[in-house]
Amino acid sequence: MARPASHSSLWQLWHQVFTDLFRWIGVLGRELSSSRGRWVVLALPMLWLVAFFLVPFLLVLKISFASAVSGAQPPYSDMIGTAEDGALTLRFAIAGYQLLLTDSLYVTAYVNSLVFATVSTLGCLVLGYPIAYGIARASPAARAVLLVLVILPFWTSSLLRAYALIGILRTNGLLNQLLMGLGITDAPLVILHTDLAVYIGITYNYLPFMIMPLTANLMRLDFTLLEAAADLGARPLTSFLRITLPLSVPGIVAGSLLVFIPAVGEFVIPDLLGGPDALTIGRAIWTEFFSNRDWPMASAVAIAMLALIVVPMLVFEYVQDKRLEGDRR
């Protein structure tokens, strides 16, 4: 019968295990610090993007050039076929893209989505800039509390927040009761199922996306510049327009992109809060996918929406890079 290990032998065993573990951690750290390690670190997020962005994008792009086939599973034609002589053939259908340019329904959906996203982004900027400025000027303890209050809505689902806005904006909702109780209006206002409700919903849901990058940008601002401007006789408005606002442009651009890009494809908020005329790209994609079962048309709408967003961004980045190169010279 084997004798139980003594405490000293167990201690030596654990000591050896932890020694080997820390040695392997050190080897791994040195490997990651090397050139090969840097490529490994870069490869992980690139593989993630390829698997969950590039591959789905290529699949949607492929479906957009197919033809809808009712009753089939999946409900679109195969792009690769076989001719009578056995040769492989490729079938590209561009009817979906042609319909995007000729059917006023899709043109209206794109225009509405751009209008909703633009107005809501401006609303987020108008409301978010003072909040971000106040957070940036607050003490560290108060700043932490204010940032928690900003991100607190993210702890609940956006769908629940949209339903909560229905209870606030409807005819007998909290907002109309407050306005009539204060004597501001004699009759309830019709806000729900209008474009105004969509603007309120998108602005409310995406406001933190504007506040966070603006706060990060304004926290790096040297506020002694404002004190120097005041000593030189500049008024607060002049100091803001000539110092604070120009230095906060990167934060404004980052926040605007974070709000505008997802707002263009927003589906839930316009569908719940908007009226029958609040046709957006998201609703058009939903209708084509699930109601009409026209996957090629829905894919064409999605690809066109992506091009509508990405192409101007690439042009903007190209112009900015050229401008920076000119400034360096």
Domains annotated for the chain, with CATH where assigned, are 109-279 (1.10.3720.10)
The distance from CA 222 to its chain's CA centroid, rounded to whole angstroms, is 29
Is the pTM higher than 0.75? The answer reads: yes
Tell me, what's the pLDDT at 43?
Answer: 78
Tell me, what's the pLDDT at 149?
Answer: 92
Tell me, what's the pLDDT at 318?
Answer: 79
Maximum distance among all Cα pairs of the chain, rounded to whole angstroms: 94
Tell me, what's the pLDDT at 2?
Answer: 43
H/E segment holding residue 88: strand 88-90
Q: Judge whether 252 and 211 are in contact, CB under 8 Å.
A: no
Helices 95-102 and 104-137: crossing angle, nearest 10°?
80
In angstroms, the CA 274 to CA 228 distance is 49
Q: Judge whether 289 and 295 are in contact, CB under 8 Å.
A: yes
Q: Which one, of 66, 142, 130, 17, lies nearest residue 294 by Cα?
A: 66
What does R_g of the chain's alpha carbons equal in angstroms?
28
- With the C-alpha atoms ordered 157, 158, 159, 162, is the resulting torsion angle positive or negative? positive
> 287-319 b/e with 16+ CB inside 10 Å = b?
bbbeeebbbbbbbbbbbbbeeebeeeeeeeeee
Tell me, what's the pLDDT at 292?
Answer: 86
Q: Encoding tokens for residue 246?
A: 């120009």
Per-residue pLDDT tens listing for the chain (329 residues): 444 444 455 556 555 655 665 666 566 566 555 556 567 677 788 888 888 888 999 999 999 998 888 777 788 888 776 666 666 677 788 888 888 888 888 989 999 999 999 999 999 999 999 999 999 999 989 999 999 999 888 888 888 899 999 999 999 989 999 999 989 888 899 999 999 999 999 999 999 999 999 999 999 888 888 888 888 888 888 988 899 999 999 899 999 999 999 999 898 999 999 977 788 998 899 888 888 889 999 999 999 988 888 887 887 777 777 777 776 76
Q: Judge whether 247 and 278 are in contact, CB under 8 Å.
A: no
Tell me, what's the pLDDT at 25?
Answer: 59
Other beta carbons within 10 angstroms of residue 263's beta carbon come to 26
Q: Which residues lie below 8 Å from residue 251, measured CB to CB, with a gap of 6+?
A: 132, 213, 214, 215, 216, 217, 218
Q: Which one, of 163, 135, 124, lies nearest residue 261 by Cα?
A: 124
Angle at 26 between CA 24 and CA 27, to 5 degrees: 65
Could you tell me which residues are beta bridge partners of residue 81? Answer: 89
Could you tell me which residues are beta bridge partners of residue 90? Answer: 80
H/E segment holding residue 164: helix 158-169
Tell me, what's the pLDDT at 205?
Answer: 94
In angstroms, the CA 60 to CA 315 distance is 24
